[in-house]
Amino acid sequence: MTTVIKFPREKALDFYRHQIEIKKAAQLIQTGGLVAFPTETVYGLGADATNESAVKQIFQAKGRPSDNPLIVHLATIEQMDKWISDIPDLAKRLMKHFSPGPITYVMRHQGGFADSVTAGLDTVGIRIPDHPLALALLELADVPVAAPSANRSGRPSPTSASHVAEDLSGKIDLILDGGITTVGVESTVVDVTEGIPILLRPGGVTLEALKAVVGEVSVDTNQKEQPRSPGMKYRHYAPKGEMWLVDGDDMVKKIQYISQEKMAEGYQIGVLTTEENKDKYKSTKTVICGNRSQPDTVARQLYDALRKFDTLGVDLIYAETFPMTDIYLSVMNRLLKAAEGKYFIK
Ligand code: TXA
Ligand code: MG
């Protein structure tokens, strides 16, 4: 059975008032249980990263391929010393700016994690989330917490407790409900084992922000054949209908044209749109994903929007696209995966 504990929606967590509930969650982690908890990016599914059988249960609950390593979550930067013998200077510089926050550092570890956490790699991804409930849980658990996104493998990551329940109810012990997550896309994953950081997955910390701190950042483009971040090779974030991306100055017109044509052929059409364009697509099932002029709102609503299509029963989805800059780079990375790279070209 899965228990859900609901927390108030205020920004700062009154740790003292809620310590009984958080302690219960921490004890579950310490005794090998699975606890879903909110972070600023998406909900994570946490287990003690040193407990092999607990970590194995994460893979089982998610239906996750075993060659895909998990991110380890810690409460403070200081705790890293216990797991990483030689934190690269590059990592230290980035941490000063971005941690706690939506960024994961891939570094060489010195052992101690359950084998399935690292999938046999000599590196591990470590992150300090910027969320009061997550930090309180990590502090009380007092063990490193392995936590992938708390969705069934292949489904969009969860940005609310009800998304977690949809995918994992009955399979995990506890869900800490802290409301809707603020960033909405996962953390940026950077490999800091070499002189120049390698961006493995765009996320909450933008490429522009990384460059502003360290100058050069290289972007891992070889993700199909031999991805350095194993998770990037799998189909992901996929809604049930077949999704096509639409771009160009005449994006709206192209969507209008193709949806009319496909509707005439008898297909149910979904359109992923934004506040600005929501009234432009007649007779289609539109899902609004934020406000184009406020990129953060698009990122925040993206996964909820993708999940909505599943309940609408559409055959084809045409999605508006965004420029490949700032947080939109992450949004486009996820949309490209959801659409398996397909663009509609007229
Ligand atoms: O925002 C997030 O990062 C969320 C929250 C819960 O913290 N977690 C998350 O975890 O997105 P997950 O498991 O869904 O994605 C982890 C990504 C995968 O693409 C995985 O391949 C990559 O990080 N990764 C983990 N360890 C790695 C390593 N040692 N080397 C390269 N990539 C790694
Ligand atoms: Mg994930």
Indicate whether 235 pLDDT > 70: no
Mean pLDDT confidence for 104-119: 96
Sign for the pseudo-dihedral over CA of 127, 103, 134, 230: negative
Top mutation candidate among 58, 67, 71 for ligand 1, by most atoms within 8 Å of CB: 71
**Rounded Cα distance, 24 and 12, in Å:** 20
pLDDT at 225: 43
Indicate whether 247 pLDDT > 60: yes
Average pLDDT, the chain: 94
pLDDT band for position 13 (cuts 50, 70, 90): confident
The protein residue whose alpha carbon is closest to atom 12 in ligand 1 is: 148
Asked if residue 7 lies in contact with residue 161, where contact means CB atoms within 8 angstroms, the answer is: no
Mean pLDDT confidence for 235-251: 88
Residue 91 tokens, joined: 């990592």
- Name the β-bridge partners of 343: 245
Closest CA to 136 of 181, 176, 92: 176
What is the number of the ligand 1 atom nearest to the C-alpha of 187? 1
Residue carrying the six token digits 């950042």: 217
The three-class DSSP label of residue 86 is coil
Residue 155 tokens, joined: 């489904």
Indicate whether 243 pLDDT > 70: yes
Please state, as a whole number, how many other Cβ atoms lie within 10 Å of the Cβ of residue 110.
13
Q: In what order do the strands lie in the sheet with 285-288?
A: 242-246, 316-320, 269-273, 285-288
Closest CA to 114 of 82, 90, 88, 146: 146
**Rounded Cα distance, 94 and 102, in Å:** 12
Asked if residue 94 lies in contact with residue 190, where contact means CB atoms within 8 angstroms, the answer is: yes
Cα of 144 vs centre of ligand 1, distance in Å, is 15
Tell me, what DSSP letter sits at residue 294?
Answer: B
Per-residue pLDDT reduced to its tens digit, 258-308: 999 999 999 999 999 999 999 999 888 999 999 999 999 999 999 999 999
Give me the phi and psi of 3, to 5 degrees please. -90, 145
Indicate whether 156 pLDDT > 50: yes
Mean pLDDT confidence for 124-137: 96
Indicate whether 149 pLDDT > 60: yes
Please tell me if the CB atom of residue 127 comes closer than 6 angstroms to any atom of ligand 1.
yes
DSSP string of 220-285?
A: ---TTTS-SSGGGGS--S--SSEEEEE-STTHHHHHHHHHHHHHHTT--EEEEE-GGGGGGSTTSE
Cα of 149 vs centre of ligand 2, distance in Å, is 4
The three-class DSSP label of residue 17 is coil
Top mutation candidate among 229, 303, 333 for ligand 1, by most atoms within 8 Å of CB: 229
Closest CA to 119 of 158, 66, 80: 66
pLDDT band for position 18 (cuts 50, 70, 90): confident
What is the number of the ligand 1 atom nearest to the C-alpha of 43? 6
Burial 222-240 (b: 16+ CB within 10 A, else e): ebeeebbbbbbeeebbbbb
Asked if residue 223 lies in contact with residue 231, where contact means CB atoms within 8 angstroms, the answer is: no
Indicate whether 229 pLDDT > 70: no
**Rounded Cα distance, 193 and 180, in Å:** 33
Closest CA to 270 of 312, 304, 300: 312
pLDDT band for position 8 (cuts 50, 70, 90): confident
Cα of 13 vs centre of ligand 1, distance in Å, is 26
Please tell me if the CB atom of residue 321 comes closer than 6 angstroms to any atom of ligand 1.
no
Mean pLDDT confidence for 167-187: 97
Residue 280 tokens, joined: 């432009």
Top mutation candidate among 104, 124, 223 for ligand 1, by most atoms within 8 Å of CB: 104
Please state which of the ranges 96-110, 183-197, 212-226, 317-331 shows the lowest mean pLDDT: 212-226
Asked if residue 281 lies in contact with residue 232, where contact means CB atoms within 8 angstroms, the answer is: no
* Domains of the chain, each with CATH number or no CATH: 3-219 (3.90.870.10), 242-338 (3.40.50.11030)
Mean pLDDT confidence for 123-141: 97
Give me the phi and psi of 231, to 5 degrees please. -65, -20
What is the number of the ligand 1 atom nearest to the C-alpha of 73? 7
pLDDT band for position 52 (cuts 50, 70, 90): very high
Cα of 106 vs centre of ligand 2, distance in Å, is 16
The protein residue whose alpha carbon is closest to atom 6 in ligand 1 is: 44
pLDDT band for position 169 (cuts 50, 70, 90): very high
pLDDT at 226: 47
The protein residue whose alpha carbon is closest to atom 27 in ligand 1 is: 125
pLDDT band for position 11 (cuts 50, 70, 90): low
What is the number of the ligand 1 atom nearest to the C-alpha of 232? 19
Percentage of residues of the chain with pLDDT beyond 90: 86
Mean pLDDT confidence for 63-82: 95
Indicate whether 232 pLDDT > 80: no
pLDDT at 239: 80
